[in-house]
Structure 1
């Protein structure tokens, strides 16, 4: 039985076979998914050690799969390589530099594939910023926080009124000079 599972999510049978053929000899099990829905199911059920994800997929796009991966902390630690024939398709949705995955442009050679896999593994090991989880606040904490916010809003309202008055003075001055 294979020690490492590599999930290849691509609607092209040729690309899936190419990735399989380019992987170095080793103890790998290559799992294939032909669309985004199959891909998400395979991530949940197979727990892969690496995901190769095409950006343009039927039924659920690679971008939607990527968003689901980012939303689940357990999936975030899986190395991810995004694949596309056109980098600009990807950069329209996700700005560079790509922090959480490696990108490889199709068609690619074995050396590029291996480099992308190594890069994805390094990125997956990086610590991610912690997301804040809301905590239950007591009524006293809430009322204190509300009072502070109300004071801040009142101060902002006074500042806006002062700026409006200043703006009116400037407009009057300009009108006077132009007349």
Structure 2
């Protein structure tokens, strides 16, 4: 009997089968769920060693499943690998850095899968900040105060790098728009003469 239960929540059969086949033979039992509701039910019913969660799911999205997991301290202890073909979409929804789970980009190979599982297991062993408490408190005059010693969103180097890339992209778009505006103004001035 397998001692480690791994739940793969993905609406694509190919991905679920791929994960099953890529895991080293031995003491793994792979449970599968094709949507968020089925996955959440299995999370609550089974004693799991790891959850692999696709971010885009039918019936209940991976984001909603993630929120349910984070809301319950006993579920937050389970190592979690979030899978998606679009890392930026995950980063937009999950404002905190990826400290409590591991991200696995699709498509992936066996080496990336094993690496993500190991990283998720290591992260699950780390002490975690209580997500049920608010990170920022609003004072009587409406200002937001951040308690000292608490890491605010977007502080990891990966998050900062992603934000810098977005800023550079937006700056290039702004420069392009300024150039176009200058051309339009020049054209209008010529027509007015």
SS at match of 2:64: helix
Structure having the higher helix fraction is 1
In 1, the alpha carbon distance for the partners of 2:130 and 2:54 equals: 27
> Whose radius of gyration is greater, 1 or 2?
1
Cα shift at 1:96: 6.0
TM-score (normalizing by structure 1): 0.72
RMSD: 1.9
Corresponding residue for residue 99 of structure 1: 99
Q: Which residue of 2 aligns with 1:45?
A: 45
Residue 64 of structure 1 and its aligned partner are, at CA, apart by: 0.5
Q: 1:102, 1:59 → 2: CA distance?
A: 23
Moved over 6 A (4+): none
Instruction: Report the counterpart of residue 77 of structure 1 in structure 2.
Output: 77
Q: What per-residue deviation string (whole Å, max 9, x for no partner) do you get for residues 102-125 of structure 1?
A: 001100000000000000001101
TM-score using structure 2 length: 0.67
Aligned partner of residue 74 in structure 2, secondary structure: helix
**For residue 109 of structure 1, what is the aligned residue in structure 2?**
109
**Please, which runs of 5 or more residues in structure 2 have no aligned partner?**
134-139, 142-193
Give distance in 2, aligned partners of 1:17 and 1:61: 20
Indicate how the Cα distance of structure 1 residues 106 and 130 shifts in structure 2: closer, same or farther if over 3 A, else same: closer
